[in-house]
Structure 1
Amino acid sequence: MAISKSQQFFESLWYRKTVWWLWVFWPFHLLLRLIVWLRRSFYRKGLFKSTKLKTPVIVIGNITVGGTGKTPLAIYLIELLKSQGYKPGLISRGYGGNSEHYPLTVTESTPASESGDEPFLIRRRTQVPVMVDPIRARGAQELEALGCDIIVCDDGLQHYALQRDIEIVVVDGNRQLGNGWLMPFGPLREPQSRLKQANHIIVNGKDMVLEPNSIQAINHHNSELKEPITAVAAIGHPERFYKTLDSLGYQFERQSFPDHYQFSKQDFESFQGSILMTEKDAVKCLSFADERFYFLPVSAKLSKPFLQSLMEQIKAITHES
């Protein structure tokens, strides 16, 4: 199921100067701002339950809909923590996945259709405990029981039912915050003022860059890419993937799917030549990928000032705990 033209149209409105007729919905925008403010206030005042763990929690998230680079940042942060002697674990909602039971401990044999693509990818890349649970506090407590001494919460900025010690917000350096309106009239989950309350703001493309690694075959065969090449992406911002391939000199056709789309073998029956995917999409094709399937892994690189500031804060909260 490729992205529909209507979906493309409405998303394009978010990232350009606000069209005149959108102002008709200004009262709804104000109502949404009020709802967002009330919800957070209720958590802050204790009217809604919020769990505080003994283990420090680092939340990685954004205030916009769609991809900003959170998953590569989570992988980088986990590897950094491991190198510093910590025992990190990751808790995720598991968007796009559907399991019969939670908390779900993600293993190499867990289907990505159950765990969600991002938790499966993070587990595969880092080999740390990864827990999936819609009730993140419950899943995080499972990580504590497994011996994790610091917990990374993936895409949990708006999940106030789990208290956090550090907040890292990722912003797309190209698209920024779009037209500045809240969903569904714009891309914002929370008002722009929310950024002032975060501990760290990472601008993807400035403070963080995503460096492409070597293209790999999904099933580890030795064949080389064959033309024609179809680039397939089911991520929040497919254009970032396509621009990366452009910069590497590849000629290809584009085929976008909805974010977190669960692929099947039938989706690719009509494709000729090679199929080149993101790593997040590739993990959903492990069971049926043939010699046509390849993926491009990327790695996050962060600025030294951010890393220094972050590690100082991590050492402070782990010492306190």
Structure 2
Amino acid sequence: MPAAPSWWTTRGPASWPYLPLSWLFQLLAGLRRAVWRSGWRRAAPLGVPVIVVGNIAAGGSGKTPVVLWLVDALRQQGWNPAIISRGYGGKAQIPTPVTALSTGEQVGDEPVLLARRSAVPVWVGRDRPAVARALLAVRPQIDILVSDDGLQHYPLARDVEIVVIDEQVLGNGWHLPAGPLREPLRRAREAQLVILHGPCSAALRARLGAVPTAAMQLQPADFYRLDDPGQRRSADSFKGLMLKAVAGIGRPQRFFDTLQALGLDVQDSRAFPDHYRYHAADLALNGADALLMTEKDAIKCRGLAPTETWVLPVDANIDAVALDYILEHLNGPETA
């Protein structure tokens, strides 16, 4: 995915030429949604509950940490979850299992990260219902599915929709390609839960209406060495060093801001497009003592990056009420 266009941030002259396409996109998206809502087409049930974690805007809203949080919470509640995904950026078209040894080129960056972090089955493929059926056929013990993205993939039956919103990602509030929106903000009101990543204005809360919401922050852990994840270092141990940082994610600045919040003085920060395929030259230390990167970037950089490359994992810190809302829809209000 290329970097977010500059005109997505404002409703200035740079975005105006894209408005006709934006209106067409909005019309087609609305018609497609109406077809499924009206019952003209129906998604076939899969035999187990399905939770879709998605967003209404292009760009890094924070879905992957939410998926990791969710499958861990479900396991603690006695469920046996698995994850399905389109595998954006990967070559897999048919239902394909993902392992810790899979590559981003094969199955997409996020699914590899999910497989390494979640300890639950992860499968990808173009047709998510087909992926779900293939997974369930070989893993009959799975009793709930979590779809990483797929909010707009209406052929996939779902029991719970979770929309992750980062207000900064909403940009100018216009639809693609004049702005970042895939669907209008009112679409989030139809979800069972909205997770708000970062600060949220009173105006946004008002526009969300009565849909339940929960706040989320990303909590960084200790760094680990790229070529030896067993080695760990605290952020404090990097203070006073010459540091380089790279980020090829939806919002690279978020990673750089996190490093700054940890008290690190990064002299060389380099942002790349989301899902960027790195070259060794991109990762050269160039005089720095260490290279810092995200877990998503680390999927693609093993074997390319220098020895002193350290990865910063993050976990979603989500209001406890979020799980209550989810369990209420899965089990009924008496068990939430």
**TM-score normalised by the chain length of structure 1:** 0.88
Whether the 8 Å CA contact 1:182–1:190 is kept in 2: the answer is: yes
Q: What does residue range 79-118 of structure 1 map to in structure 2 within 5 Å?
A: 79-99=72-92, 102-118=94-110
* 1:85–1:228 distance in 2 versus 1, CA, 3 Å: same
Deviation for aligned residue 1:310: 1.8
What amino acid maps onto 1:215 in structure 2? F
The alignment status of 1:212 with 2:212, answered yes or no, reads no
Deviation for aligned residue 1:76: 0.4
The alignment status of 1:14 with 2:2, answered yes or no, reads no
Report the secondary structure of 2:83's partner residue.
strand
Which residue, out of 95, 105, 120, partners 1:128?
Answer: 120
Equivalent in the alignment of 2:31? 38
Provide the rounded CA distance (Å) in 2 between the counterparts of 1:118 and 1:26. Answer: 31
Deviation for aligned residue 1:112: 2.5
Whether the 8 Å CA contact 1:96–1:262 is kept in 2: the answer is: no
Provide the rounded CA distance (Å) in 2 between the counterparts of 1:27 and 1:283. Answer: 38
Which stretch shifts more, 280-289 or 80-89? 280-289
Deviation for aligned residue 1:46: 4.9
Deviations 1:259-302 (A, max 9, x none): 11122434324643221000111122223444121111000011
Deviation for aligned residue 1:32: 2.0
Equivalent in the alignment of 1:183? 176
Whether the 8 Å CA contact 1:171–1:202 is kept in 2: the answer is: yes
Equivalent in the alignment of 1:265? 280
Q: Which has the higher contact order (CA 8 A, sep 6+)?
A: 1
Report the secondary structure of 1:283's partner residue.
helix
* 1:287–1:43 distance in 2 versus 1, CA, 3 Å: farther
* 1:26–1:302 distance in 2 versus 1, CA, 3 Å: same
The alignment status of 1:315 with 2:322, answered yes or no, reads no
Provide the rounded CA distance (Å) in 1 between the counterparts of 2:48 and 2:316. Answer: 25
What amino acid maps onto 1:255 in structure 2? R
Counting matched residue pairs gives 309
Equivalent in the alignment of 2:155? 161
Equivalent in the alignment of 1:233? 247
What amino acid maps onto 2:195 in structure 1? I
Provide the rounded CA distance (Å) in 2 between the counterparts of 1:94 and 1:48. Answer: 25
Report the secondary structure of 1:185's partner residue.
coil
Deviations 1:35-71 (A, max 9, x none): 1111112233455563321111000010001101100
Which residue, out of 252, 260, 279, partners 2:295?
Answer: 279
Deviations 1:105-150 (A, max 9, x none): 0112222321211111111111100001111111111222212100
Provide the rounded CA distance (Å) in 2 between the counterparts of 1:308 and 1:222. Answer: 34
Deviations 1:51-100 (A, max 9, x none): 3211110000100011011000100000011111111000011112223x
Unaligned 5+ runs, structure 1? none
Whether the 8 Å CA contact 1:232–1:254 is kept in 2: the answer is: yes
Whether the 8 Å CA contact 1:96–1:261 is kept in 2: the answer is: no
What amino acid maps onto 1:164 in structure 2? R
Whether the 8 Å CA contact 1:82–1:88 is kept in 2: the answer is: yes
Provide the rounded CA distance (Å) in 1 between the counterparts of 2:40 and 2:181. Answer: 25
Unaligned 5+ runs, structure 2? 200-214
Deviations 1:197-228 (A, max 9, x none): 11111110250110010111111257975842
The alignment status of 1:245 with 2:237, answered yes or no, reads no
Deviations 1:216-265 (A, max 9, x none): 11112579758421111111011111111110111112111111112243
What amino acid maps onto 2:326 in structure 1? L
Provide the rounded CA distance (Å) in 2 between the counterparts of 1:195 and 1:222. Answer: 39
Report the secondary structure of 1:121's partner residue.
helix
* 1:22–1:108 distance in 2 versus 1, CA, 3 Å: closer
Provide the rounded CA distance (Å) in 1 between the counterparts of 2:20 and 2:306. Answer: 52
Q: What does residue range 45-60 of structure 1 map to in structure 2 within 5 Å?
A: 45-48=38-41, 50-60=43-53
Provide the rounded CA distance (Å) in 1 between the counterparts of 2:17 and 2:6. Answer: 18
User: How many percent identity over aligned positions?
Assistant: 41
